Amino acid sequence: AITMSIWAEERRQGTDELLLTIPATDWDSVLGKYLAAVAIYSVSLLFSMLCTYTVLESLGDPDIGLFIGTYFGYWLVGLAMLAVGMVASFLTANVTVAYILGALFNGILVILGTAPVLSAILRSPQLAVQLQRWGIGGQLADFARGVVSWAGIIYFLSIALIMLYLSMVLIGRRHWRLGPVVGSVAGFYGLLHLAVIFVAVLLALGVSYGLGPIPGVVLGMIAYLGIQIALLALWERVGFTIPDLPGHYITRILAVVAAAVGLVLFFHAHDLRWDVTSERINSLSPETVQLVKELRVDRPIVIEAFISPASEVPESYVQTRLNILHHLYELAALGKDKIRLIVNETSQYSEEAARAEQRYKIQAKEVRSIDRGTLRTDNIFLGVAFTCGLEKVVVPFIDRGIPVEYELVRSLAIVAGEKRKKVGVVDTDAGLQGNFIAGVQQWPIIDELEKQYEVKRMDLNSPVQPGEVDVLLAVQPSTLTPEQMKHFVEAVRSGIPTAIFEDPCPRFAPWVSATSEPRRPPSSPFMMFPREMPKGDIQELWNLLGIDFPKDEIVWQDYNPYPKIDLFREQKPFVFIGKGSGAERPFNEQSPITRGLQNMLLPFPGAISKWRTSELAFEDLLRTGPRTGFVRYSDLFR
């Protein structure tokens, strides 16, 4: 609407002749009109920005970085659309026709950026995803997530510059004089500008990939300047006298478009991205960035996500959905040609839902939530499939509480053919891998480990051989027999990385004996008189590590952030770790294990302390507040 009368109204009223007689070039006229439209749009957008922020500020604490990044993207979209609208206004003297043409021209860019619409038209989701980045929606998506993308800026500015140049050509067509040498002049310019297209294609194909983005652009500019110098020299030598012809300008416009396409492709391959959100929700960890950059694959890894529309996701899963999408887009941007992302908005009983079930066994999961005091049941899709050749890894559903980045990167590494490390799970009474006699099923943590590692059961009835496993996992090692304990201590002493979890009071695993209790015989209907089970001395392990772990002492703390829950109020050994406990440093922010945590519940925990003579590095992760103490296990459960 802003641009429809920029030139069409001038032509309708006949004032265009007056405008063209002032001492200004065609470029000055076009640029002045464009900047006037940009000024109107910018002021309107600024008012919208202030009003929207005022409303959001009254409702909560908006993310200022995300807010500004989104509106910056809107402003860039406006720059491109205004330039396109100007071209439409230069094509006609009718304001209404100019408005319709502007809407149609901009509509093409809008449709290109809408994958569902493209997929329905082309009947090819993969082709729709490839074309999406050439549309406004595909480029605006990064800004809407709080990511300022250099490739996106170049895309919108390229559209604006191309359209401004086309407007200048249209306003200058009054000077065109057709003659018998039109074909030769057009051919002359065509041959020379083919070299420009060649340079753009070279940049797009990544010939300068190893040079880095800055040297690559410099090389392209040098090549372009060289071509222009050759053009001027040849023009003087041949002696053409007709400067402005349709064929000449058509060829120039095509050359400029080709150069812009090459420039956009180049910056897609060498994109610089800034996460401007306050919480850095779009930033990947350094380890993830390094892993993706070091990926070596013969063919692209295809990531196909089946995500329910935002309107169908309950409020409790909105953040999980956003986290999945944000991390997927960042992985695709980081992986460039190595990763191809397809995001399908999937509703129940839709065509995408049928394809998800047939191809990947991904189904909608029933989730329950409370909405305005009533229990709500929804069936939603939050599944992701990774394929690379014959390799396939499927994550059927990413639930709340699951680290999204870890889940995605782990699947990515597996499908890329990364060598799996061996994890040895020590067979204790905890029964992590299941215990038929005790009626214990395999723990979920083993299901998760098996997705990424080769998991091996270790009974420790014999010593662990060198190179047999890469790491050991032992839960409640105090239930090992004396012989098993001996072999376990020897394995730790040999330097095998080992994760040890010892619970002095495993109240939520009643089949497991506490550290200070004798081993419980397995409950089986076939054993009428179970014999006493031998138990190794766990103190041998503590002596090796140089720590004190009182086996019969349970930590309590007088801090409860949930006073309405009776269980937490009555049981002080439900220890909450958090800033409200009074601890100066409840979580170790220097460790990646506990960095960023806000609250944690430890039911009936124990405590460890380092020997002064120990030579091992000791890094505390959690600390209680000042109102804390110990209670004996025997006093707690008499």
pLDDT digits (tens, 9 = 90+) for 559-596: 888 887 777 777 778 889 988 888 888 999 888 888 88
Average the pLDDT over 178-198 and give the result: 52
Q: Give 569's contacts (C-beta < 8 A, 6+ positions apart).
A: 560, 563
CB 263 within 8 A of CB 203: yes
Between 253-262, 273-282, 375-384, 546-555, the lowest mean confidence (pLDDT) is in 253-262
**For residue 89, what is the DSSP state?**
H
CB 189 within 8 A of CB 181: no
Cα pseudo-dihedral 108, 110, 111, 112, rounded to 10: 80
Predicted pLDDT at 181? 44
| The listed CATH number (3.20.20.450, 3.40.30.10, 3.40.50.300, 3.40.1080.20) that belongs to domain 284-415 | 3.40.30.10
Task: List residues bridging with 315 in a β-sheet.
Answer: none
Domain boundaries, the chain: 1-175, 178-275, 284-415, 421-520+530-535, 546-638
**For residue 477, what is the DSSP state?**
G
CB 473 within 8 A of CB 443: no
Between 240-249, 476-485, 506-515, the lowest mean confidence (pLDDT) is in 240-249
CB 204 within 8 A of CB 262: yes
Cα angle value 532/537/543 (rounded, 5°): 170
Residue 433 has pLDDT above 90, yes or no: no
Q: Which residue has the higher pLDDT, 173 or 318?
A: 318
Predicted pLDDT at 227? 63
**For residue 633, what is the DSSP state?**
H
Residue 211 has pLDDT above 50, yes or no: no
Q: Which of 86, 95, 89 is nearest to 41 (CA)?
A: 86
CB 89 within 8 A of CB 6: yes
Q: Tell me, rounded to whole angstroms, the distance of Cα 36 from its chain centroid.
A: 38
